[in-house]
């Protein structure tokens, strides 16, 4: 019997150790796996590569991840905290201790989709001629300069959804989905926390992440407490 349900965050994150690359979903506060971020914060894993649209959610819900200098590299479209203060991850980047790879958001999504879909690299005009194109191969298509972007994969993906079944099928609500599907495709171990683990199967025509991309599901109440970092 296929059963991807796990009972504890420790089981959900089993195998996440030193040097792991970890994709974390979330955009605009929706789809952020707060319980799993806190679980990651409680682990001893170091030398992490954190891949997420915006670092402020990881830092907001799991501040020790950066404060304890456990991240060696960030791949993101936003590595800036709110407000005028300099956060721990910004300080580490400014001091040259943390590597930050800035990626245009569409390229960020597409690199994961490619990574999960068996496409090793693709050309795009996005970013051509900018600082983010430095060192990338350039070719012209349709009279337009395009840069070669490589696929991106990771060891883990951590995602928040609304409902799941034991087969790992996931349904989102509202704008939770964002990078969840492409992260699930691109990660070797995809873990999804949901508000409700259904005892029956989800309706097959209302599934946002097919369970084939998902390894573990866990039921966890919303831990945001109405706050957005």
Partner 1 sequence: MTMPLSRDQIAWRAAQDLAEGMYVNLGLGMPVRVANFAPAGEEIMFHSENGIVGVGPVASEAAADPDLTDAGSQMITLVPGAALFESSQAFAMIRGGHLDVTILGGFEVAANGDLANWDARATHKGQLVGGAMDLVTGAKSVRVMMNHTTRDGGARLLQACTLPLTGLGMVDRVYTDLAVVDVTPDGFLVRELLDGLGPDELQDRSGAELAFAEEYGVLSAPAL
Return residues touching partner 1 (CB under 8 A): 27-31, 53, 55, 77-81, 84, 86-87, 89-90, 93-94, 100, 102-107, 109-110, 112-113, 124-132, 162, 173-182, 208, 222, 224, 226, 228
Q: What is the residue whose two structure tokens read 């509202």?
A: 174
Nearest distance from C-beta of residue 59 to partner 1, angstroms: 10
When the beta carbons of 14 and 73 are compared against partner 1, the nearer one is: 73
Which residues are paired to 191 by β-bridges?
158, 216
Q: What are phi and psi of 95, to 5 degrees?
A: -85, 0
The half-sphere exposure of 9 on its side-chain side, counting CA atoms within 13 A, is: 18
Nearest distance from C-beta of residue 1 to partner 1, angstroms: 29
Q: Cα–Cα–Cα angle for 159, 160, 164, nearest 5°?
A: 100
When the beta carbons of 167 and 179 are compared against partner 1, the nearer one is: 179
Nearest distance from C-beta of residue 167 to partner 1, angstroms: 20
When the beta carbons of 16 and 66 are compared against partner 1, the nearer one is: 66
Q: In what order do the strands lie in the sheet with 144-150?
A: 121-124, 144-150, 138-141
Nearest distance from C-beta of residue 145 to partner 1, angstroms: 8
Query: Which among 25, 19, 10, 17 has a CA at the least distance from the CA of 214?
Result: 25
When the beta carbons of 43 and 163 are compared against partner 1, the nearer one is: 163
């Amino acid at each position: 019997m296929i059963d991807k349900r796990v009972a504890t965050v420790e089981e959900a994150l089993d195998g996440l150790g030193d040097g792991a690359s970890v994709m974390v979903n979330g955009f605009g506060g929706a789809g952020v796996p707060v319980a799993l971020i806190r679980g990651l914060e409680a682990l001893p894993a170091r030398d992490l590569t954190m891949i997420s649209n915006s670092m402020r959610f990881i830092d907001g819900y799991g501040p020790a991840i950066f404060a304890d200098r456990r991240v060696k590299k960030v791949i993101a479209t936003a590595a800036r905290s709110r407000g005028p203060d300099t956060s721990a991850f910004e300080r580490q980047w400014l001091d040259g201790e943390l590597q930050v790879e800035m990626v245009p958001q569409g390229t960020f999504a597409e690199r994961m989709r490619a990574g999960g879909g068996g496409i090793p690299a693709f050309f795009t005009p996005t970013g051509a001629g900018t600082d983010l194109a430095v060192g990338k191969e350039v070719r012209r298509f349709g009279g337009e300069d395009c840069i070669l972007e490589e696929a991106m994969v990771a060891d883990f993906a951590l995602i928040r959804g609304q409902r799941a079944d034991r087969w790992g099928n996931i349904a989102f609500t509202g704008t939770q989905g964002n990078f969840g599907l492409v992260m699930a495709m691109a990660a070797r171990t995809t873990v999804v926390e949901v508000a409700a683990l259904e005892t029956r199967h989800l309706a097959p025509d209302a599934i946002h992440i097919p369970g084939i991309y998902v390894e573990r599901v866990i039921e966890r109440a919303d831990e945001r407490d109405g706050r957005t970092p």
